[in-house]
Structure 1
Amino acid sequence: MIGTRKPKINFDGLKELFWAAHKAFLKNHKALLEGKLSERCWCGALMYELNKQLEMNGYNNYYADVEFNKLGKKEKCIKLLPDNEGTLKRIFTDIIVHSRGQARPDNLIALEMKKSRAKKLSRENDRERLMQLTKQDVFINNRYIYRYKLGIYYEIDLKNEEILVEFYQDGSKVEEKVSKF
């Protein structure tokens, strides 16, 4: 059933949506964690639960996508972010929630997922990407870019059976929680 209530397109409303998807992910897909499958597989399952929550909560015209790397409908308009030297680099965010250019605001959630045993530099790069993606004043080619309302760093620790969740807003980490599974 499609939700008919008006969604809360703000930081707190999006966190609520995420937590509902996270709980459903743990309930419905725990076997994927226990099976020690790939991060990509987990992203697909979490994306599925995010899409269900979007539909149930009235986020019409919004979608969760895995590794979506284009801006709008332009075939060659690849998503880019500047590195530390200012050089634009192609980005592949693990999961994004957006309208695919059909609604405003377009970009709601950017989520990066990692296994806790991933290299420290890789984990730090994901966190830095979330800071960049959630900034509200980033310009490339004289236009605002990305402006995600919520960034989520999602680190799965199989050994301790827990998930570290960090929330990012306006270019900064604002909260973190650990969830057991």
Structure 2
Amino acid sequence: MVAKFKGIGGVMLCMLLMVQGARADDCRLSISQSRVDYGVIHREALVERPSVALGTRTLHLNVLCTEPSAMALRFTGAAEGQGFRFGREGRMRLTLRHAQVDGRAIDWRMAHLPGETASGQLLPGQVLVAGSPGKRLTAQVDIDTDLPSDALQVRSETILEGLGRFELVSPAVPLSR
């Protein structure tokens, strides 16, 4: 994600970079874009409040396997509470929505609590498991980013970025017949 904040004499650039093309045995993970750019944001246009939400950005995630497989995902990046660090003080939250395996809607499960359903929010250190195996997983990834207002107090061009990557955690294990 990239956002540019123009303040008195300064600009802030913010970006989230994600790795594309992760593999796990016979499966391949891809995302629709590896960089999200928030553009230039003028500090003067922002209402004074404790934090500034940069808005939701959406990506599309796909996993394609050669054989029906169990699929599990995680996002790795610097942890920041219930999200991931964005710049020195900001936070980004990633949520998987509208997930389908082979065209059928699925629920997410937490790897460490197999019977429990999960909301689809990718949390630091957590692995989400697709509720059913298959050959193709698709999901919408919503990214919500916010910064404390004082992060906009810059004197020169400043770059803020959030770095991380999606990982296909489970090996592609063919279903037993």
The TM-score range, normalised by the shorter chain, is 0.3 to 0.5
More strand by share: 2
The answer to which structure, 1 or 2, has the higher relative contact order (CA under 8 A, 6+ apart) is 2
TM-score (norm 1): 0.32
Point out the structure with max Rg over C-alpha: 2
